[in-house]
Structure 1
């Protein structure tokens, strides 16, 4: 049996025996992950501060901690910060006064995303990809099963891969 046929037999076995994660056939796997996106104030799970003078945004609470630890600001400015840090409106006004007058407070929420350019026939391959490429994803990256809905060619291909008798190829070649 040649290497390609052996590969197809092993893939067939994996396709037939892997966990389907509740997805109907034909199924494939992608990388699911999370990212923070701008949100309406009432949906905010956290805030970031955008500083136009350096064109950077920071998680608001982390930024305030960083200022306290590494700041070259005056004692007066730091004392004011200690007094107002629990109020976002006062804190952004403080940042506008001492750091960047154009600073903006941005409400954010975490959303689930499907990473682009990821498609795997098996869950094992998707897990391996995440492990080998974790530097591209957050620590919450995970396999995400999807159905190739209304994709007749994908459905037919996967059905062939799952049901074809790969041993018959060797028998036909031996008969010639």
Structure 2
């Protein structure tokens, strides 16, 4: 029981003193991150190429660089590839001609997401989770403060945690 009370006392101090990240109370933290999603052509920030023969997608620029460096293609075909600059139509035509005739360009844009199944009472705990689980996230993962808007029970619980006089509870030794 004493350990639980001590935990609540320490949690209370952390809740009272942590940065709010501009969020109203009651607040909690999640993991924010980014992912690439298919987009309309005019909103594209990058392109990926889908190769149906192997059922794989690659970021187009990275894929072209990899082919240039590691390819066993003939010199003429390599030269043709080198001549493709920033023209995505030429790039997909080249890929369809020499790699996979069914290849498709996929326009993509980066969007912010809230990672599912993440909820932390303190920012410190959220940061620790990201550090210990970075293999599940991109290098852009970050804490993301959220307000439990109109969640009366959450608001009451956090208010109790932040204001209750835990030292007033008598504990038996």
* Superposition TM-score, scaled by structure 1 size: 0.95
Partner of 1:31: 31
Give SS of 1:62's match: helix
When the two structures are aligned, how many residues end up with a matched partner?
A: 172
Moved over 4 A (4+): none
Whole-angstrom CA distance in 2 between matches of 1:11 and 1:75: 66
User: Take 1:82 and 1:159, find their aligned partners in 2: how far apart are those partners?
Assistant: 64
Match of 1:153 in 2: 153
> For 1:116, what is the secondary structure of its paired residue?
coil
Deviation of the 1:54 alpha carbon:
0.9
2:139 aligned counterpart, secondary structure: coil
Q: Which residue of 2 aligns with 1:132?
A: 132
- Give how far 1:85 is off: 3.4
Aligned-partner SS, 1:150:
coil
* CA-CA distance at 1:137 after TM superposition: 0.6
Query: How far does residue 86 in structure 1 lie from its aligned partner after superposition?
Result: 2.1
Aligned alpha-carbon RMSD (Å):
1.1
User: 1: CA distance between counterparts of 2:160 and 2:102?
Assistant: 60
- Residue aligning to 1:19: 19
Q: Which whole-Å deviations, capped at 9, do the CAs of 1:44-67 have from their partners, x for residues lacking one?
A: 111100111111111100000000
1:103 corresponds in structure 2 to 103
Tell me the TM-score normalized by structure 2: 0.97
Structure 2: state its 5+ residue gaps: none
CA drift of 1:79 comes to 1.1
